[in-house]
Structure 1
Amino acid sequence: MEQYDDVDATDPASEQDLLDAERLLGTALPTGLRALLLESNGVMDEDGTDVIWGAEQIARTNQEFRTRKDLRDLYMPFDALLFFGDNGGGDQFALPVSPVRPDVFVWDHENDSRTWVASSMEEYLRKALAQPGEDWYR
C-alpha cells in the first residue's frame, strides 16, 4: 500500500481472520479487498475515518445489513454489495459481489442511492486518502 501522511494502517489480517470473515459472509472476499486486508486489517484517514474496515467489522456489518428486518423494510436489498468502509457520516463504500466487479460504489444512507466512485480499490484509496473529509466523492 502506498504511503500517505497521517494515515493509520493497522497490522495485516491473518489468513484465519479472512477465512473467518468469509465463513460468516458465506462468500469469498473480493480479490482486491482480500489483498489489501493482508497488508493492513483496516485503514483510517487523517480525520479518523475508517476508509477500510478490518475483516471482522466487514463480516459483522454485512451480515447485519443483510439480515436485519428493519433495514430490509427500509432499503433496497444489500445482497449484491459487500460494504468495506465508510465516510464517517453514515454513507458506506461497497464492492459489487453479484456480479463481481472491481468497481467501488458509495451507498447514501439518506436516500438509498448507490453511486459509482472508483474503478478499483486502488483508485478508491488514492481518492479517499488524497481528500480526507466525509464528502470527498461528491
Structure 2
Amino acid sequence: MREIFGGASAECRAPVDAAALREAERRLGRALPAQLDVLLRETDGVADAYGTDVVWPLAQIVEQNLMFWSGEAFAGLYMPFDSLLFFGDNGGGDQFALVVASGRDDVFVWEHETDSRVWVAGGLQEYLRRALAGDGDWWR
C-alpha cells in the first residue's frame, strides 16, 4: 500500500469483500472502474492526515453517485454526471471522479461552485500521491 500513497500519511480501513463490491455494482447499474475495485479490496476508503476522505468508503460512493445520477436534484443546475463516478472530496465541496464512459483512467475534479470538470490526474494512484502530499487546493 505504501507504493500507492508515495510514503504519505493516510488512514486506511478494513478491505471490502467481493460480495459487497458486486452488490455496489448491482445498485449502481455498472461495474466499478478496475483501479477503484483494486483499491477497495485493500481498504474501504482513504483519509488524509486531516481526516478528509480522499477516497470515500464504498457505501458513500454508492449513495453519492446514485444521488448525482438521479438527475432530479441537479438537472436544472449542472451538466449531467452520467460519465463520472465520484469517489472522494476535498472537504470543501469539490468532488473527485473517475471517467467511466470512455474507459479512461483519468481523475477529474468537479468544482461545485462553477460546475467545471477539470483533469487532475492520469489515474487513481497518481491522484492519491498528489492528494495525500498536497495541501489545500493541490489540483489547481
Task: Say if 2:54 and 2:89, in contact at 8 Å, map to a contact too.
Answer: yes
Moved over 6 A (4+): none
* Equivalent residue in structure 1 for 2:96, among 79, 93, 97: 93
With structure 1 as the length reference, what TM-score do the two structures score?
Answer: 0.95
Task: Say if 1:66 and 1:72, in contact at 8 Å, map to a contact too.
Answer: no
Aligned to 1:136: 138
Aligned to 1:48: 51
**What are the ranges of 5 or more consecutive residues in structure 1 without an aligned counterpart?**
none
Counterpart Cα distance in 1 of 2:19 and 2:82: 24
Counterpart Cα distance in 2 of 1:68 and 1:37: 27
CA deviation digits over 1:55-109, x for unaligned, max 9?
1111110000111412121100000000000000000000011112100000000
**Counterparts of residues 1-138 of structure 1 (less than 5 Å):** 1-2=1-2, 4-133=7-136, 135-138=137-140
Task: Say if 1:96 and 1:104, in contact at 8 Å, map to a contact too.
Answer: yes
Q: Relative contact order, CA 8 A, sep 6+: which one is greater? A: 2
With structure 2 as the length reference, what TM-score do the two structures score?
Answer: 0.93
Percentage identity across aligned positions?
Answer: 54
In the alignment of these two chains, the number of paired residues is: 137
Counterpart Cα distance in 2 of 1:131 and 1:63: 29
**What are the ranges of 5 or more consecutive residues in structure 2 without an aligned counterpart?**
none
Residue 64 to residue 42, structure 1, CA distance change in 2 (3 Å): same
Task: Say if 1:47 and 1:132, in contact at 8 Å, map to a contact too.
Answer: no
Counterpart Cα distance in 2 of 1:66 and 1:50: 21
